[in-house]
Structure 1
Amino acid sequence: MIDSLLDFILLALASFRLTRLIVYDKITSFLRKPFFEEEDGKNEKGEIETYIVPKKKGIKGFIGQLLNCYWCTGVWIAIFIVCLSYFFSYWSGPVIVVLAVAGLAAILETLVQHYIDE
């Protein structure tokens, strides 16, 4: 369970990284693909653009809506990470630490890029 502030921070960073991995990263696009479809639409300039939108019906539509919402997916990922750490603390520790380190690295990289681009 969460015994210290460090445990809480590790769980938070691991949840952050796993959520971004599932919702945004290219490497997991194959997981999202069954729940989305492509639609063509016009932008402000009148040009045709292809948009990726959640499927409309059924369980695939529900999961598509969930994956389309970073905050919604984050809640479920946080529940998963906390349960993982609680019920499987022995072997989940390294996974959580790796995700947490990757999450912190992503945050630092974003900050560095922001200040370099200014």
Structure 2
Amino acid sequence: MELTIFQFAIMGLAVFRVTHLIVYDKITEFLRAPFFDEVEEIDEAGNSEVFLVPKEGKIRGWFGELLSCHWCTGIWTAGGLYGLLIYFPSVANPLITIMAAAGVASVIETVIQKWIS
């Protein structure tokens, strides 16, 4: 299947949004939790910061590394969405459209927040 430039752009926006959803958004924190340990550090001023560190082990460690890297997760997300588009287009097309629209909305929101602050 060959993508037009428009379809490629829509796919790119969908991959961006799904990747962000998986790697950063609070709503999917429960998916990431089994693969990370929380490490608390206190700086010189006495402020506490919590860092997520991938767990040790082959499977959990691998998924932890994957989920801590938006570049890596983006590749797998692109492959998954493209595979879904090839094999199940009736499912993929609405999903990709919705996620692309959400991606555009998140970019617009970020620009507006930067502009007003």
- Tell me, in whole angstroms, the C-alpha distance in 2 between the residues paired with 1:47 and 1:115: 29
Give the equivalent residue in structure 1 for 2:98. 98
Aligned residue number for residue 68 of structure 1? 68
Q: Could you tell me which residue of structure 2 aligns to residue 43 of structure 1?
A: 43
Equivalent in the alignment of 1:79: 79
In structure 1, the residue matched to 2:7 is 7
Q: 1:2 to 1:105 in 2, by over 3 A?
A: farther
Aligned mates of 2:107, 2:83 — CA distance in 1: 24
The TM-score with structure 1 as length reference comes to 0.91
- Code of the aligned partner of 2:103: G
- Unaligned stretches of 5+ in structure 2? none
How far, CA to CA, are the matches of 1:53 and 1:75 in structure 2?
21
Check conservation: 2:54, 2:64, Cα contact below 8 A.
yes
Percent identity between the two aligned chains = 44
Kept in 1: contact 2:84–2:91 (CA 8 A): no
Assess if the C-alpha contact under 8 Å between 1:15 and 1:74 holds in 2.
Answer: yes
**What's the RMSD between the two structures over aligned residues?**
1.4
Task: Summarize deviations over 1:2-21 as a string: whole Å, max 9, x none.
Answer: 43111101110110000000
| 1:48 CA drift (Å) | 4.1
Q: CA deviation digits over 1:29-56, x for unaligned, max 9?
A: 0000000011222324354433221112
1:56 equivalent in alignment to 2:91: no
SS in 2 for 1:50: strand
Structure 1 contact 2–8 (Cα < 8 Å) conserved: no
Report how many aligned residue pairs link the two structures: 117
User: Which amino acid is the alignment partner of residue 74 of structure 1?
Assistant: G
Code of the aligned partner of 1:58: K
